[in-house]
Amino acid sequence: MKLVLFDCDGTLVDSAATIHGTMRRTFLEFGKPEPSLEQTKAIIGLTLDIAIARIDGKDHADEEAVAMAAHYKSLFTDVRKDRSFNEPLFNGIGEVLERISREDHILIGAVTGKSRRGLSFILDLHGLSQHFIVRRTADDCPSKPHPAMVTECCDETGIAADRTIVIGDAIYDMQMARAAGAKPIGVSWGYGPVPELEKAGAAVIAHHPLDLIDLILQE
């Protein structure tokens, strides 16, 4: 058996514009300079309060960062209700999940800095929920790159870390996989620069979602 764990934002869905817009509104509401798109992209994947603290130049999530995270979540709830809400799947991701889900020896899961509710919303929105038998989110585990998301998924499925692949677009995904003893596969269509993914420990880089099929099946 093999376990394949996908990050969400920047790996399954293109959510940078929505996240950045909500982050800008949050920082402005608290009287702080609005972050640049690059600043926002650099923290996607981290648990929200830690991500906000990083943008704000802090080394930990203090009370203000926690309050800002709560405000962000309230804004995002309204954003999702907007009919123009759009976090599209990257082209080819649906085909990848359909293909590997047909393999009896492969189990699929998600490891993400999103909330449990946020992940469920995205998977339901795109009709993908049936593929993900195990999930760990910011509500369940410490923020990436702590290995808990991976190790807990391994424990739940009974699959060893050395039979587990972690697929993500951020250095935190690569570091998390390495810390857990899993194989990290970086993707170039997300928000993390390829050289940084390689430096963080990516075993290989996929340059198109469909490339993942062979990379997963050949393991």
3-class secondary-structure state, position 68: helix
pLDDT on residue 84: 62
Give the chain's largest Cα–Cα span. 53
Tell me the fold of 16-81.
DNA polymerase; domain 1 (1.10.150)
Strands 183-187 and 204-206: parallel
CATH architecture of the domain with residue range 2-14+90-217: 3-Layer(aba) Sandwich (3.40)
Q: Which mean pLDDT values do the consecutive 10-residue runs of the chain (219 residues) have?
A: 97 94 95 96 94 95 96 85 78 97 97 94 94 97 97 98 98 98 98 97 98 93
Task: Report residue 167: phi and psi, to 5°.
Answer: -115, 125
pLDDT on residue 77: 78
- Between the alpha carbon of residue 129 and those of residues 17, 105, 110, 125, 140, the distances in Å are 23, 19, 10, 9, 18
Q: Where are the domains of the chain?
A: 2-14+90-217, 16-81
Residues 10-56 pLDDT 10s: 999 999 999 999 999 999 999 999 999 999 999 999 999 999 999 99
